[in-house]
Amino acid sequence: MEDQYFTPPPVPQPEIKEDIPPMKPNNWLWQSIVVTVLCCMPFGLAGIVYAAKVDALYFGGRYREAEAAARTARLWTLVARVIGFLGIILWAIVLSTGGMSTYMEKIIENGASGYNF
């Protein structure tokens, strides 16, 4: 009768390990597009190129490379933004100090018109 109430020990189940990928990094794509259109085209284009790589690398399982591409896209986007803002500030200074008329007078003195710099 003792065997009737005997329960065997539980069979150990193999450990199921779920590989949870890291969070997808921000790809900076829309920021790169806006900066390219409004501020500085060459550096903004570099930002777009690297931003486009982020999603492809991440969904391909290459997480470290996706993170590196996101950092590079961020760098080029911020560089383009800073250069664009500096250009706007410089342009405002030139216009507000009257330096633009002097510049245009020098161009005309050298025999150039507005069409053939």
Q: Which of 13-27, 51-65, 102-116 has the lowest mean pLDDT?
A: 102-116
pTM given for the model: 0.69
Distance CA 12, CA 36 (A): 59
Residue-level pLDDT at 20: 86
Judge whether 14 lies within some domain: no
Query: At a CB cut-off of 8 Å and minimum separation 6, what does 32 contact?
Result: 44, 47, 48, 51, 73, 76, 77, 80
Judge whether 10 lies within some domain: no
Number of domains in the chain: 1
Query: At a CB cut-off of 8 Å and minimum separation 6, what does 66 contact?
Result: 24, 25, 53, 54, 55, 57, 58
Range of the domain at 89: 25-109
pLDDT digits (tens, 9 = 90+) for 91-109: 888 888 877 777 778 777 8
Judge whether 5 lies within some domain: no
User: What confidence category does residue 114 fall into, taking pLDDT thresholds of 50, 70 and 90?
Assistant: low
